[in-house]
Structure 1
Amino acid sequence: MKTYLVTGGAGFIGSNFVLYMLEKYKDITIVNVDKLTYAGNLENLKSIEGDKRHVFVQADICDREAITALFGQYDFDFVINFAAESHVDRSITNPEIFVKTNVEGTVNMLQCAKNAWYRDGKWAEGKKYLQVSTDEVYGSLGETGYFMETTPLDPHSPYSASKTSADLFVKAFGDTYGMPVNITRCSNNYGPYQFPEKLIPLMINNAKTKKGLPVYGDGMNVRDWLYVEDHCKAIDMVASGGRVGEVYNVGGHNERPNIFIVKKIIEILHDKVDPSIDESLIKYVEDRMGHDRRYGIDPEKIKNELGWYPETTFEVGIEKTINWYLEHEDWMKNVTSGDYQKYYAEMYKNK
């Protein structure tokens, strides 16, 4: 029986990973640590309430005492670190929070894992630390080419700079101490349980309620879209089979301009929900500072070494995602109340 420490497991990708793993494996234990900030939501985990294989602990990854206690209580085989502040707009407004969680929190997790796993000059057998990172650490692409694992790191936002720093600390623990580590760098995820500050759930929610659909700049910023379950499969495969010390890019050659995404959502909701939902809702707003123009990932390494490939086409994934949000209106109402409304006004209404 394998035991996992999953951090940020009440957030979007983390909760999807927890649900995926408990569905796939019957003989694992997951200790799920989440601080429950605005993006962490226990409603994401309602379907596994009472499952003894899942233990939830509310804690901050920066808290040395709390994390050390967990390593003392459980013999973890894997640490999967999802916990992060992840929204670029928020990082522009308040970069210090991103340094605290993404950099200091990662270093704390690495230190606690090292203290538990490194004894008498050698590492315990079968342990691994996996850092979940982002393609944004590579910066921005031109009209051609793709990010490879060898692409120089060139972050442009406080968010991506903090994730780059965290990646380099993970690499340093591998290089300096021989710690068994992997880093995965994924493209833009979408799917169930994503907090509606991100493009797809924001547009779904606004379109349904006939609010304006804020699109940065000319809407032609290009992202490589990955359905979250495909990402979860990749993380599982890297944790169990990835070569120690390696970085694996996770993407799907599934590039779409932001405005294409917005118009696709309008088209589907127009047909499914309300024919009065149309492109007149689109509102172009002042572009984000330092807005990267294009991301695109080359996933050949993970495909060739581990046999992973994205199984969900965008056409299928976006339909599944919209259907999920339409079927979970209470979830959306709960997460868009209170502080979110203040944040939304600050980000978009004055632009």
Structure 2
Amino acid sequence: MAEFQAYSCDAITGAVIDRVPFSAFAYSRMLSAGDSGSSIAVPIDGTLTKTELRHLFQHLSRMIVLERDGVVEYMGRVQTRGYARGASFLQIGLSDIWTWLARRGGWDHSVANVEKWSTTETGNLAAQAAAAIVRGRDIGPVLPAMGLPLTLPGGGAGPSVTRKYFGYHLDTVGDVIADLLDEGLDIYFKPRWITSGDADWLYQAGQGWNSGVTREFYVTAEQSDVVAFSESSDAARVTNNARYIGEGSEQDMLVRSERNTASPYPLMDRITQAKNVSNVAQLSALAAQDLSIYGDPTFQWSFQVSGDSPVDVGDKVRLHFDGDPWIADGWHERRVVNVAASIPGPDVKTISVQATGGA
């Protein structure tokens, strides 16, 4: 029987404040996107006083960590609280680090006139995103507090590029990262405990990033570890004519495009603003990359595995089929893009996987 624990932590430092009771917990961890619908239900049965409840579940300044057998499954800040007279629990809505990124400016917060600020960054896409996080987390006034429990290791795969960022654009950290994701960057913020005992997110990123771990499942075997397999597909982002708009305005604007004349689909334009790019070769390379990433529809497979499965976001999974009426026989390799679970209920995790790239 798995042992679940939940903790209230300081959202600035990650330090544990206290363990908290709960009657239900729903969560998801995603690749290159924030979760939606993660929540915890907390009994209001007198175990904690009203003052303690408000302290442990204070909006924004508290982070709730869900642990299974000592391993962090999810962590998110207190975003909403819901109470209904007569109910036996308090419903706490949680948001992960992506919500914070969308609410923190990606500029130097110590400057007096942000509209006059600018900086030039050179490095791969992962380094560009990390630099924006540093500007939003570390560079600015003491109060209000800017801290965030996040480790930013160096490295990351991909060619080096140069970007110039201007304060008058007023881009948030989330805006900067969204542009980099459009250029092919993948990011996973892995929740974990660190050696100090504090909660922390580990930043892992790169173009086509994966965890380096491969797991195999025989889907159609009689006693398969996989149940409830399904496939869905979406062609909303298919592109065969990619256009990038770089630095400049009106008649002096830099624009480069690439077209895939061998595409089996009708003309589908994709226009991407890259206002921080002033190099035409980079714009052309980005347009060509879009034709590769978004050349075909997105196919997503979802299935359930045991709740104690160590499958994580970014893992490669090899799925074997034999005799399925829809999926081709043989091995299929995919990357995990979402891990979700709900407590109480069947002790399973729902895993969603996609091929690397795709629309």
TMscore range, shorter length: under 0.3
Q: Which has the higher strand share?
A: 2
Q: Which has the higher helix share?
A: 1
Higher-Rg structure is 2
**TM-score (normalised: structure 1):** 0.25
